[in-house]
Amino acid sequence: MVERTAAPEAPPESDPVMPRALADIAPELDPALAAPSSLREFWGDFSQNRGAVAGLAMVIALVLVAIFADWIAPHSPIEQFREATLTPPSWHEGGTTKFLLGTDALGRDILSRLIHGSRLSLFIGFISVTLSLALGVVLGLLAGFLRGITEIFIMRLMDVMLALPSLLLAIAVVAILGPGLINAMYAIAIVLLPHYVRLARAAVIGETGKEYVAAARIAGAGPLRLMFNTVLPNCTAPLIVQATLGFSTAILDAAALGFLGLGAQPPTPEWGSMLADALEFIQRASWVVTWPGLAILITVLAFNLMGDGLRDALDPKLKR
Amino acid sequence: MTLLAFSLIHLIPGDPVETMSGERGMEPERYQRLLHEFGLDRPLYVQYFDYVWNVLRGDLGTSLTTHEPVLKEFVTLFPATVELALFAMVLSIAIGLPAGVLAAVKRNTVADYAVMGVSLTGYSMPIFWWALLLILFFSVQLGWTPVSGRISVQFDVPAVTGFLLIDAWRSGEPGALRSALSHLILPSVALGTIPLAVIARMTRSSMLEVLREDYVRTARAKGVSRLRVIVVHALRNALIPVITVIGLQVGLLLSGAILTETIFSWPGVGNWLIHGVLARDYPVVQGGILMIAAIVITVNLIVDLLYGVVNPRIRHG
């Protein structure tokens, strides 16, 4: 807070609602005027937070690794080098540069598996967050707009889901649907859902009382237009923050499910199931345990750093 | 509460008979007969009321694998989980709270960055991996602690309370308490890491907010010592959001217990539940989840009531 009070030009940026609200009511007037300045303002806030920038850089790096996995990875993630099982990392005694981070019990190159695993983890994160966000926003908007019995029904259901520990709920869903990567994604989407519903509903209730919504309503906007065009754009900040943090939850929970044997099934190079496979070799070959966990930690850390930075930059009110 | 039970039950069952039959499937007649046997061919609402009636009478059904009543199994295993979770909680509060206060008071110093860096890492930690690292270092490399279980096999401690620390202490056997403690420490550290990080972060931000308040400056101005202002004036007011967060950690602890117990072969409800899921033991999964949800809700209720005790403004408000 010190740097904020020290800077006298801080107050205008703490009220991002006004320019956006104006742009929303009359987008045809001058949309080009409001957008770039708010983007630059956001980047100014975001880049002040070194951790956030580091997180963003890591996320970008991970995305690149995931996209170009086929070219970066030295070997196929499922090719078994039978003559080189449990080879230690290259800088250890007995390691070779052919397998930089060593091989697992079946002689598969750990580095290549990790690189391909990043693809899976980001994919899981992306799909479950998108699913959850889309459904959550719709449910939240419905609850916030319709109120009454719909709201009570939706919110009580969300309360029930929130009462269950997240991993337990995910396990319950997987127990119904059966283990597997796709079902794990559904399970995680369901686990994340209540957060988005609550955020969207709270934001909608906060926004509907404002004058620009009344203005839009008087101007003849129908309920759907009011929901998605007028109110939703003004509720995006907390949702974006939550979605970023949701990525880290999704990746962590997917790895946990994989570890418990309920997520991705072998030979899929998923980080959590790689750890589970490594369990019995923990005493002989510690590297098979070290690397997948480190990959999970770094990825989750990157998304958490980025999410924290986004929260501070997008929504000063959320800053704790 | 009934709504809760209702939603849960509709969330969980699926079709156990279909699952039991496996991938090969079974003849339609046998399928129908089994459905009838389990009472699954009745209308959904009949099944539901039947189940709720049984739950209210304390009957959660019988495990399909051990043929023991689910509730009995739960009650036998639950103390082990509570012991682990309590120990982890104590550990995380004992370290997290002072660390958060330190970070807030020494804001923007190396100490602050260190605490925040460590807690962010802890917050992002996959605890199943963290647990493995702990085993690798303390059990395999140093040989200080055992790898799994609750107590060494040579001790046969009578289970009076189910809390092994107390039972071992009561038994008076030399070394029993020590053995139980050494089994408990690693799982607790693994389980307590995330709550520790969350508590430290929350304490810091909450303290920062309170330290800016006028009454803190007033207290300092009238000559109260720095330490007293921090502990008595600031911390007490900063504690409310922290207590909320601690209450929320209970759910997280039970979640984490599933992973921690699996890794350390800790005979608690988490381990039991995972085995239930893997064995498709539906009564166990259903009953276990119901019990845990009920416990989490109860704890959250208690936390709400605790606010009043900590902060008179809420009690009188």
Could you report the per-residue pLDDT of A248-270, keeping only the tens digit for each? 889 998 999 988 888 888 778 88
Q: Is residue A71 part of a domain?
A: no
ipTM of the complex: 0.77
Chain B closest-CA separation from residue A172 CA (Å):
6
Q: What residue has token string 């704790």?
A: A320
pLDDT of residue A300: 92
Do the chains contact at A163 and B4, CB–CB below 8 Å? yes
Whether residue A5 lies inside any domain: the answer is no
**Residue holding tokens 């956006």?**
A20
Q: How confident is the model at residue A64 (pLDDT cuts 50, 70, 90)?
A: very high
On the question of pLDDT at B10 being above 70, the answer is no
Q: What is the mean pLDDT of residues A283-303?
A: 87
Higher pLDDT pick, B112 / B16: B112
Contact A260 B262 (CB under 8 A): yes
| Cβ neighbours, 10 Å, residue A211 | 9
- Residues B264 and B251 sit within 8 Å (Cβ to Cβ): no
pLDDT of residue B274: 85
Query: Residue B145: enclosing H or E segment and its boundaries?
Result: none
Q: Which tokens belong to B120?
A: 């962010």
User: Is the pLDDT at B115 greater than 80, yes or no?
Assistant: yes
Q: What is the mean pLDDT of chain B?
A: 77
B256 and chain A: CB distance < 8 Å anywhere? yes
Q: Does A1 touch chain B (CB under 8 A)?
A: yes
- Note which residues in 268-297 of chain B have CB less than 8 A from chain A: 273-274, 277-278, 280, 282, 285, 289, 292-293, 296-297
Residue A4, pLDDT above cutoff 60: no
pLDDT at B235 over 80: yes
Q: In whole angstroms, give the CA distance from residue B47 to residue B35.
A: 12
Give every CB contact of residue A270 below 8 A, 6+ residues apart in sequence: A117, A120, A121, A181, A254, A255, A258, A263, A264
Across the interface, whether the CB atoms of B274 and A2 are under 8 A apart is answered no
A213 assigned to some structural domain: yes
| Band of pLDDT at residue A316, cut at 50, 70 and 90 | low
Is the pLDDT at A122 greater than 70? The verdict is yes
The residue-averaged pLDDT of B115-126 equals: 88
- In the prediction, which pLDDT does A317 show? 56
Structure tokens at A236: 């995006």
Residue A247 in any domain: the answer is yes
Which of A168, A173, A293 is the closest to B132 by Cβ?
A: A293
Which residue, A67, A108, A65, is CA-closest to A86?
A108
Return the minimum-mean-pLDDT range out of A176-180, B40-44, B75-79.
B40-44
Torsion angle of alpha carbons B166, A167, A302, B124, nearest 10°? 0
d(CA B229, CA A305): 32
In a domain, A65, yes or no: no
Q: What is the share, in percent, of chain B residues with pLDDT greater than 70?
A: 74
Contact B251 A286 (CB under 8 A): no
Question: Using 50, 70 and 90 to split pLDDT, how confident is the model at B42?
Answer: low
Q: Give the minimum alpha-carbon distance from A154 to chain B in angstroms, rounded to a whole number.
A: 11
Q: What is the pLDDT of residues A232-252, one digit of tens each?
A: 888 888 888 889 888 988 999
Residues of A in contact with B140 (CB under 8 A): 282-283, 286
DSSP string computed for chain A = -HHHHH-TTHHHHT-THHHHHHHHHSTTT-HHHHHHHHHHHHHHHHHH-HHHHHHHHHHHHHHHHHHTHHHH-SS-TT---GGGTTPPPTTSTT--TTSTT-B-TT--BHHHHHHHHHHHHHHHHHHHHHHHHHHHHHHHHHHHHH-HHHHHHHHHHHHHHHHS-HHHHHHHHHHHH-SSHHHHHHHHHHHHHHHHHHHHHHHHHHHHTSHHHHHHHHTT--HHHIIIIIIGGGGHHHHHHHHHHHHHHHHHHHHHHHHTTSSSPTTS--HHHHHHHHGGGTTT-THHHHHHHHHHHHHHHHHHHHHHHHHHHH-GGG--
Q: Enter the pTM of the model.
A: 0.79
CB A263 within 8 A of CB A273: yes
B212 CB neighbours in chain A (<8 A) are 1
Sign of CA dihedral A70, A72, A76, A77: negative
What residues 47-66 of chain A have any CB closer than 8 A to a CB of chain B? 51
With respect to residue A130, please indicate whether it lies within any of the assigned structural domains.
yes
Read off the pLDDT band of B22 (50, 70, 90).
very low
Find the mean pLDDT for residues A135-148.
Answer: 89
Q: Which residues pair with A109 in a beta bridge?
A: A103
Q: Does A292 touch chain B (CB under 8 A)?
A: yes
pLDDT for A13 = 43
Q: What angle, rounded to 10 degrees, do the helices at B282-310 and A148-163 form? A: 100
Q: How far is B301 from chain A (nearest CA, A)?
A: 11
Q: How confident is the model at residue B225 (pLDDT cuts 50, 70, 90)?
A: confident
Residue A128: the pLDDT is 94
Number of domains forming the structure of chain A: 1
Best CA proximity match to A310, nearest among A232, A250, A239? A239
Find chain A residues with C-beta within 8 A of B129's C-beta.
Answer: 275, 289, 292-294, 296-297
What pairs with residue A103 in β-bridges?
A: A109
* Subunit contact A275:B254, Cβ cutoff 8 A: no
A264 domain residue, yes or no:
yes
pLDDT of amino acid B145 = 75
Which domain covers residue A220, as residue numbers? Answer: 118-318
Per mean pLDDT, which of A65-69, A297-301, B38-42, B306-310 is the most reliable? A297-301
- In CATH, what number is assigned to the domain containing residue A300? 1.10.3720.10
Among residues of chain A, what percentage have pLDDT more than 70? 86
Q: Under DSSP, is residue B282 helix (H, G, I), strand (E, B) or coil? A: helix
The confidence band for B262, taking pLDDT boundaries of 50, 70 and 90, is: confident
Residue pair A303/A121 in contact by the 8 Å Cβ criterion: no
Lowest mean pLDDT among A130-144, A272-286, B97-111: A272-286
Does residue B239 surpass a pLDDT of 50? yes
Say if residues A270 and A255 touch (Cβ distance below 8 Å).
yes
